[in-house]
């Protein structure tokens, strides 16, 4: 049952990010379970309901997901505008195939045949477009979704790029630093785990967290006034600037 719920959450996450890609907004469509079967094989039917009646993007969102999955299975590639979050959602959907579930069949409103994802398909993708590499480095962003109550402690890091969400896993020794960094601008360093082709990592195994000051805590130009009273010597500010300019020529 837990596998079934996990897959439902993965599908909803995939649809939500496809919605953002298609519309440029956050959740224009709410997808609800309209039919559910636990018999073998289990089946989920989702129906989209637009949040604003005259802005119905349901078909475009569903077509984006089914078109992307079809492109993956047949061409081994994602759409050019697929975000990192979308790619990660696809990977999560595929992770249990061949392990916790046998296969996934996806039916779209305009597809004649279902898209079938088997363990063989996933294995082929994991050595191509879903292949991951590791390197040591750092990444900056705002820390949110802090969670230290599960076996795997983590928080999400959000660089200032739409569709990028980085899961950062940290040790017990970093609990204090992590808790102090919630909702702050931080630099996280450690082992970066990338899906090939992505600019930002999917995950970071954290070695250290550096917290930066918020924008409203940074010094202003006015705060530097009078801080270097002897900088121009005996010259006035105007004469000092004029002399410096003359030296450039």
Rounded to whole angstroms, the Cα distance separating 240 from 245 reads: 9
Same domain, 116 and 155: no
Please name the helix (run of DSSP H) or strand (run of DSSP E) that holds residue 192, with its range, or none. Answer: strand 185-195
Q: Give me the pLDDT at residue 149, please.
A: 80
Of the three residues 91, 126, 161, the one that is the final residue of a domain is 126
Rounded to whole angstroms, the Cα distance separating 33 from 38 reads: 13
Query: Model pTM?
Result: 0.73
Same domain, 120 and 141: no
Rounded to whole angstroms, the Cα distance separating 46 from 57 reads: 15
Q: Specify if 244 maps to a domain.
A: no
Q: Specify if 249 maps to a domain.
A: no
Same domain, 18 and 115: yes
Query: How many separate domains does the chain show?
Result: 2
CB 192 within 8 A of CB 201: yes
The contacts of residue 227 (CB under 8 Å, 6+ apart) are: none
119-128, 143-152, 204-213: lowest mean pLDDT where?
A: 143-152
Domain that holds residue 65: 2-126
* CATH number for position 174: 2.40.50.140
20-34, 63-77, 143-157, 207-221: lowest mean pLDDT where?
A: 207-221
CA dihedral 30, 31, 32, 35 (to 10 degrees): 160
pLDDT per position as a tens digit, 157-193: 999 888 788 999 999 999 999 999 999 999 999 999 9
Q: Find the mean pLDDT for residues 70-92.
A: 91
Same domain, 154 and 90: no
Q: Specify the higher pLDDT residue, 195 or 112.
A: 195
pLDDT per position as a tens digit, 230-242: 666 666 666 656 6
Q: Specify if 245 maps to a domain.
A: no
Same domain, 7 and 77: yes
């Amino acid at each position: 049952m837990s596998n079934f719920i996990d897959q439902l959450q993965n599908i909803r996450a995939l649809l939500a990010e496809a919605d953002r890609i298609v519309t440029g907004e956050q959740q224009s469509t709410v997808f609800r379970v309209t039919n559910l079967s636990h018999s073998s094989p289990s089946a989920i039917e989702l129906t989209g309901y637009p949040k604003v009646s005259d802005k119905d993007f349901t078909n475009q969102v569903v077509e984006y997901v089914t078109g992307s999955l079809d492109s993956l299975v047949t061409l081994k590639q994602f759409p050019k505008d697929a975000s990192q979050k979308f790619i990660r959602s696809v990977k999560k959907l595929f992770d249990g195939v061949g392990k916790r579930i046998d296969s996934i069949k996806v039916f779209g409103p305009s597809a004649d045949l279902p898209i079938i994802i088997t363990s063989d398909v996933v294995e082929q993708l994991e050595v191509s477009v879903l292949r991951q590499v590791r390197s040591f480095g750092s990444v900056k962003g705002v820390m949110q979704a802090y969670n230290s109550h599960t076996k795997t402690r983590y928080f999400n890091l959000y660089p200032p790029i739409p569709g990028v969400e980085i899961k950062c896993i940290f040790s017990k020794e970093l609990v204090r630093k992590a808790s102090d960094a919630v909702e702050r601008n931080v630099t996280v360093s450690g082992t970066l785990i990338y899906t090939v082709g992505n600019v930002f990592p999917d995950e970071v195994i954290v070695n250290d967290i550096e917290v930066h000051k918020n924008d409203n805590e940074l010094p202003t130009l006015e705060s530097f006034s009078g801080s270097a009273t002897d900088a121009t010597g005996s010259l006035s500010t105007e004469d000092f600037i004029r002399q410096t300019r003359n030296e450039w020529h």
